[in-house]
C-alpha cells in the first residue's frame, strides 16, 4: 500500500511566527489577532469543511494532528481556535452522514465567516480581526 503525505495547512514558517507572538499574547492577555488573520488567510478555519463545499476536507484525525502542531508552538491560539474547529468538525461529520441542516455553518467557514462562538473572546481591540456573517439563517439559535 502506498503512503501519501499531505501538505500541512499550517506551515513551519507560520508556526514559528505564532511561537514568537505567543508570549506577548499571554503576557498582555490579548486575543491572537495576527495568528487568527494568518490562519484565516491559509484556510485553516475551514480545514474540516468537506472539499465538496470548498473546505480543506481534513478528517478528525488530520485536524487533531494540525492542532497538536499548533498547540506545541502557541497553546493559547490552539485552545482559542478549537472553538471554531469543534463546530465545523461536528457540522462536517453530520454533513458527511447525510444531515445537511448545518451546511450554513460549513459554507460560512469557507466564506471567511468565523464562528459566533468566538464572541466570548472579542474585545474592542480584537473586533477588527472578526467579520460579520450574513449567511446564518434567521432560524438559527446562534443569531
| Domain range summary for the chain, segments of one domain joined by + | 12-129
Q: What integer is the mean pLDDT of 80-90? A: 88
More confident residue, 52 or 117: 52
Q: What integer is the mean pLDDT of 4-33? A: 90
Please give the pLDDT value at position 108: 85
Q: Check whether 117 has a pLDDT greater than 50.
A: no
From CA 79, how far away is CA 84, in angstroms rounded? 10
Please give the pLDDT value at position 112: 65
Q: CB-based contacts of 18: which residues, under 8 Å, 6+ apart?
A: 32, 35, 38, 70, 73, 74, 77
> 114 is written with which cell numbers?
468565523
Residue with cell 446562534: 142
Please give the pLDDT value at position 113: 63
Please give the pLDDT value at position 109: 87
- Range with lowest mean pLDDT among 9-18, 59-68, 75-84, 128-137: 128-137
What CATH homologous superfamily does 12-129 map to?
Acyl-CoA dehydrogenase/oxidase, N-terminal domain (1.10.540.10)
CB 111 within 8 A of CB 91: no
Please give the pLDDT value at position 115: 52
Amino acid at each position: 500500500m502506498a503512503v501519501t503525505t499531505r501538505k500541512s495547512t499550517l506551515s513551519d514558517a507560520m508556526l514559528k511566527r505564532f511561537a514568537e507572538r505567543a508570549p506577548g499574547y499571554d503576557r498582555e492577555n490579548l486575543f491572537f489577532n495576527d495568528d487568527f488573520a494568518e490562519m484565516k488567510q491559509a484556510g485553516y478555519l475551514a480545514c474540516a469543511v468537506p472539499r465538496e463545499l470548498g473546505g480543506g476536507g481534513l478528517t478528525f484525525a488530520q485536524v487533531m494532528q494540525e492542532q497538536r502542531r499548533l498547540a506545541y508552538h502557541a497553546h493559547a491560539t490552539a485552545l482559542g481556535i478549537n472553538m471554531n474547529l469543534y463546530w465545523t468538525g461536528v457540522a462536517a461529520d453530520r454533513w458527511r452522514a447525510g444531515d445537511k441542516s448545518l451546511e450554513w455553518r460549513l459554507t460560512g467557514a469557507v466564506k471567511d465567516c468565523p464562528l459566533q462562538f468566538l464572541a466570548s473572546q472579542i474585545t474592542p481591540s480584537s473586533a477588527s480581526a472578526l467579520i460579520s456573517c450574513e449567511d446564518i439563517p434567521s432560524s438559527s439559535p446562534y443569531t
